[in-house]
Amino acid sequence: MITHTSYAVEPWVLRERGLHLDVLPQSESVFALSNGHVGWRGNLDEGEPHGLPGSYLNGVHELHPLPYAEAGYGYPESGQTVINVTNGKIIRLLVDDEPFDLRYGRLRSHERVLDLRTGLLTRTCEWTSPAGTTVRVRSTRLVSFTQRAIAAVAYEVEAVDGPARIVVQSELVANEQLPGRDGDPRTAIVLESPLEAEEHFAKSGRLRLVHRTRRSGLRVGAAADHVVSGPEPTTTESEATADLARLTVASALGQGERLRVEKFVSYGWSGTRSLPAISDQVDAALAAATSVGWSGLAAEQRKFLDEFWARSDVEVDGDEQIQQAVRFALFHVLQAGARAEQRAIPAKGLTGSGYDGHAFWDTEMFVLPLLTYTSPDSVAEALRWRQNTLPAARERAVQLGLRGAAFPWRTIEGSEGSAYWPAGTAAFHVNADIADAVVRYTAATGDDSFERDTGVELLVETARLWRSLGHHDHHGTFHIDGVTGPDEYSAVADDNTYTNLMARANLLAAADAVERHPRRAEELGVDEEESAAWRDAAEAMYVPYNQELGVHEQHAGFTRYQRWNFAATRPDQYPLLLHFPYFDLYRKQVVKQADLVLAMYTCSPFFDAEHKARNFAYYEPLTVRDSSLSACCQAVMAAETGHLALAYDYLHEAALMDLQDLEHNTRDGLHIASLAGTWMALVAGFGGLRHHGGRIEFAPRLPERFGRLAFTLELLGGRLRVEIGRTSATYTLVTGKPLTIHHHGGPVTLDPDKPHTRDIPPLKPRPAPDQPPHRRPNHPAATEG
């Protein structure tokens, strides 16, 4: 995408000059607007041409039966798929009876700009109709951060070279026709006409449609209101049918005259509220939006983002692409989670229907770390969603013969949505990932009430799962067998190191939490014997290690497997899962995505520096990065083990995953975790941030290309500013109580507004590790010109 001649590299905006249909689906994803509750893909205002129409409400889904060749106990029965809800974006235009369709006539100019500071998507174009009439169209779109049910469009038409008869049709459209699947299992299952009409209304510029999903039984309402201004006479007319509500505006413009339509759209949904209640809800949200008007919504949006950037911006000197990419990443991760409010944060956010709109473990391990240090309130809400889904997780655990809670591998509403149990059910590490997010949030915020009311319950139920899933052998060592770690090319293995270490941390955190909150522990039925059993299991946890090679094994026996034949694998055979049977992948040394390498980051204190270096060198030649989650993890550990140039290359791959469409599926939505991984690679990689056991550490080092890296973290109610140069780093506690951090192992006590500068020690040189053939990271030289 960004290498296309239409796209420019700028620090605060994503700009597209011209309109190129070959990248239209991808542009709809990168120009998507969302607040975590409502999502609008960046479709053209007139609706056509399009790649994938998309209007989403977080949590609104349809059910469908999961196919199985053979029945089996414990298989999930229903899958969940995000659906395209009522489209409120559409504003059609007719110029002297000619539809404004950019595939016809002459497009003189076309520009779209996503401004990351204002949160506005602006489109400006000049078009001459087949009949020769020229108009200038300007539209500005927002999805409100401050009024979560609201999206809005300001649409303006100007007659350029003479008079023009103008008709604008502003619509609410349900059950839009969607493109078919392309065979890629990552693409959403398309459900045809998932909405059944319940109510339609149109009067005096006010529109409303209410529908109900056929299987999941969710009621969805959408309403719109308009402010119209134009020369006299300008007329309006409203109409509505089951799946369409429309306001038609007609005006005759003289040369230089303009017609402006401001459109406010509200959304609401529920699985329990009545039809009148949903209608009232969307009408009330609409009244609140129209009371402040378009300029008020835009001002609220700018203020919200000013506050966000003040606490979250990352500054990179020396690489304009990364500067743009990290701000693009921060903006879209914010959009994914800002107003999710006890709903999931899907892998694609609300930018597309990829992965069926499901949330995975990457929410807790990639997205929430960024939000913890930039927008912590959204993290608390995301974890409360997990708490709300505990009944389904407990039920799943019982079904599997386990105690506690078995959280789903992929889900929208809390039940397991994966039909492939080796990569789904067996990936129990999602439970420890949730616990890790609880511990991280509590340590970073000091939010004791959250820990008491939400955190303890999540820690207890996940700890109970590990104690019942694992077992002590006759030596007393604790094992967790038959699980799948982050690497989905190694399924149903014994003693996955990542899983075991994360479970170990989960068990200890739960034991510590119930000691701090004895009354809550009593409510949850935890006694001293159970807490002691968690500590026993944690202290006896087995971590497989190959003494001969001097490396930790990804899982027990992994290093004795035959290595994958990389030399015989063609470049066009990646990702491997689409060209080779899982059976073959499972029994070879080949790694889809960082697993043991990720464990060295998330469980950093367990590994010493030499083991990290040897482990990284061993697993690099095996890791093919057939997942967008891998590059950022490898960037972090490459930086820590002294391979700064390699870390820089991995940073570029993570940062440009969508801006360059590296996995060729950006059309289905953005890779929110990889976007968050851009921040991770910079802050945890080159900044060296680690936060374990209440200890905050930095070990900064910059790659050759960077002249300076600066970022801000929210910590314990205060704000810490970190500025890293070539030879030194400066730490400033902007606000908050005195704080002790560690710089390359040495303590630094910070007082407010008193910068402390520390030298960066020299780097110990190490031989550069190899990568599999054809799988070297995306090198910046290939993207610059």
Residue with tokens 């709809």: 28
How far is 419 from 416, CA to CA, in rounded Å? Answer: 8
Are 145 and 339 in contact by the 8 Å Cβ rule? The answer is yes
Looking at beta carbons, which pairs linking 572-576 to residues 24 or more positions away fall under 8 Å? Answer: 574/624, 574/626, 574/774, 574/775, 575/624, 575/626, 576/489, 576/624, 576/626
Residue that the structure tokens 């608390």 belong to: 380
Cα–Cα distance measured from residue 357 to residue 361, given in angstroms and rounded to the nearest whole number = 14
233-258 burial, b if ≥16 CB within 10 A, otherwise e? ebebebebeebbbbbbbbbbbeeebb
Angle at 15 between CA 9 and CA 21, to 5 degrees: 115
Please, how many CA atoms are within 13 Å of residue 519, restricted to the half-sphere of its CB? 3
Each residue's pLDDT tens digit, 474-483: 999 999 999 9
**For residues 428 and 482, is the Cβ–Cβ distance under 8 A?**
no
- Categorise residue 292: left if φ over 0, alpha if ψ from -120 to 50, beta otherwise: alpha
Could you read off the pLDDT of 627-685 as tens digits, one per residue? 999 999 999 999 999 999 999 999 999 999 999 999 899 999 999 999 999 999 999 99
507 touches 463 (CB < 8 A): yes
- What six digits make up the tokens of 752? 């407010």
For residue 66, what pLDDT is reported? 86
Measured distance CA(153)–CA(172) in Å, rounded: 13
Report how far residue 402's alpha carbon sits from residue 733's, in angstroms, rounded to the nearest whole number.
46
> How far is residue 117's CA from residue 606's CA, in Å, rounded to a whole number?
41
Model confidence band, residue 184 (pLDDT cutoffs 50, 70, 90): very low
Instruction: Check if the beta carbon of residue 328 is closer than 8 Å to that of residue 9.
Output: no
Tokens representing residue 122 in the block: 């602006």
Query: Nearest to residue 507, comparing CAs of 607, 404, 595, 594?
Result: 404
| pLDDT for residue 406 is more than 60 | yes
pLDDT above 60 for 574? yes
Longest dimension (CA), the chain: 90
Q: What is the mean pLDDT of residues 36-57?
A: 96
For the residues 61-84, what does the mean pLDDT come to?
Answer: 89
Whole-number pLDDT of residue 384: 98
Mean pLDDT of the region 567-591: 96
Compute the average pLDDT of residues 697-705. Answer: 97
Q: Reduced to 3 states, what is the DSSP secondary structure of residue 730?
A: strand
Amino acid found at 248: T
Q: In percent, how much of the chain has pLDDT > 90? A: 92
pLDDT at site 3: 62
Helices (H) and strands (E) in the chain, counts: 19, 35
Q: What is the pLDDT of residue 247?
A: 98
pLDDT of 4 reads: 67
What is the mean pLDDT of the segment spanning 241-252?
A: 98
- Give the H/E segment covering residue 287: helix 275-312
Evaluate if residue 185 carries a pLDDT over 50. no
Judge whether residue 391 has pLDDT over 60. yes
* Span 85-131, pLDDT tens digits: 999 999 999 999 899 999 999 999 999 999 999 999 999 999 999 99
The confidence band for 192, taking pLDDT boundaries of 50, 70 and 90, is confident
Q: What mean pLDDT value characterizes the chain?
A: 95
Taking CA atoms, 132 is separated from 80, 100, 270, in Å, by 49, 12, 49
Alpha helices in 313-415 (DSSP H): 320-337, 362, 368-374, 376-388, 390-399
Which of 394, 390, 321 lies closest to 655 in space, CA to CA? 321
In this model, does residue 618 exceed pLDDT 60? yes
Region of poorest pLDDT, from 620-629, 750-759, 776-785: 776-785
Cα separation, 623 vs 777, whole angstroms: 11
Q: Which of the two residues, 616 and 785, has the higher pLDDT score?
A: 616
What pLDDT sits at residue 90? Answer: 98
Q: State yes or no: pLDDT of 2 exceeds 90.
A: no
Element (H, E) at 728: strand 728-735
Q: What's the whole-number mean pLDDT along residues 463-484?
A: 98
CA 494, 496, 408 angle in degrees (round to 5)?
95
pLDDT of residue 704: 95
Q: How confident is the model at residue 765 (pLDDT cuts 50, 70, 90)?
A: confident
Catalytic choice (46, 176, 488, 640): 488
Cα 633 to Cα 651: distance, rounded to the nearest angstrom: 9
User: What is the pLDDT at residue 783?
Assistant: 41
Q: Model-level pTM?
A: 0.96
Q: Is 488 a catalytic residue?
A: yes
| Structure confidence at residue 188 (pLDDT) | 46
Beta strands 150-159; 219-229: pairing state = unpaired
